[in-house]
Amino acid sequence: MESVNIKFCAMLNNIRIDKYLAQTLKYSRSHISKIINEGNLLVNNKKVKSSYTVKKHDTIFITLKKPEKLNLTPQNLNIEIVYQDEFIAVVNKPANMVVHPSAGHNQNTLVNALLFHCKNLSSINDVIRPGIVHRLDKDTSGLMVIAKNNLAHLSLSEQFKNRNVKKYYKALTFGIVKPEKGRIESFIGRHKKNRLKFSSFTSSGKLAITNYSVEKYFKNFSLLDINIETGRTHQIRVHLSEKGFPLVGDSLYASKKILKTLPYKIERVFLHSYRLIFNHPETEEVLDFRIELPDELKNFLRRIEDEKNNISRKLNIKQ
């Protein structure tokens, strides 16, 4: 099987090499240990053990087996490519599109679209996730950055891991959110009873931090501007629903009773990733991308804005 060689400089101190590479490459620690035991890892031109402690600026050279040939069909799906060069692409993912193939989703994913629209994609993140550095829920629309080669993938992974990527969302919730600005912090893990959901009420979980400010009040709704410091699955949906303000259109976390109070039908969760800030993996230039709300969300806001008893008010809150 063909191999690919990757050389990069460590950015952290005092962390085991197997843990560091597992976080960076998104492989299991057992897989990393296998690579090390097979002699396919050098640190400063020397072989090391899995217990080796990484020092900042260590030169790491790793040989990875190229993934098996993709058995995925490139599809000319409707995705907006906001920006691209030889290193990255920034796309506007539509709602109700799965990011990468999984059981029951071999077609019509973002990866299928990327295989059609992009000539090259990184191969680090395994055979079914070429180019994918981070994800958005199926029901969430908005900006995602895609890696087009492995060095770009490593750089972006480091930025996400070190919380250097800034991610902003617009969300519409049921209820009048108070206080108008806040920070929600908890450990999120798989829900104890419903395996489709996530929860803060779990025996094990990962730290999740959500910052929000109210942008506008409507009658019985609040439009929020949100910045997340972490990227846990369903993080915004979990945090706001547990605070008593589930997202409009969210049939997983909002009760059937509250969903029935919607004055107008909406076919998706009202959650949109509208801004993404990160450093270009090659030039290190700060890139700041913004995208408008999709039409279906704009139209929903217009309709509730026109309600006779609207009590909306705009807040002049800086992002």
Question: Whose CA is closest to 151, among 9, 2, 272, 273?
Answer: 9
Task: Reduce the DSSP state of residue 181 to 3 states and report it.
Answer: strand
- Considering the candidates 137, 139, 225, 250, report the single residue annotated as catalytic: 137
Question: Whose CA is closest to 232, among 168, 267, 186, 272?
Answer: 186
Instruction: Calculate ∠ Cα 109-142-241, nearest 5°.
Output: 100
Beta strands in the chain (DSSP E): 3-9, 15-16, 41-43, 46-47, 53-54, 59-65, 80-84, 88-93, 141-147, 166-174, 181-190, 198-199, 206-218, 221-228, 271-279, 286-290
Active site residue 288: no
Name the residues annotated as catalytic: 137
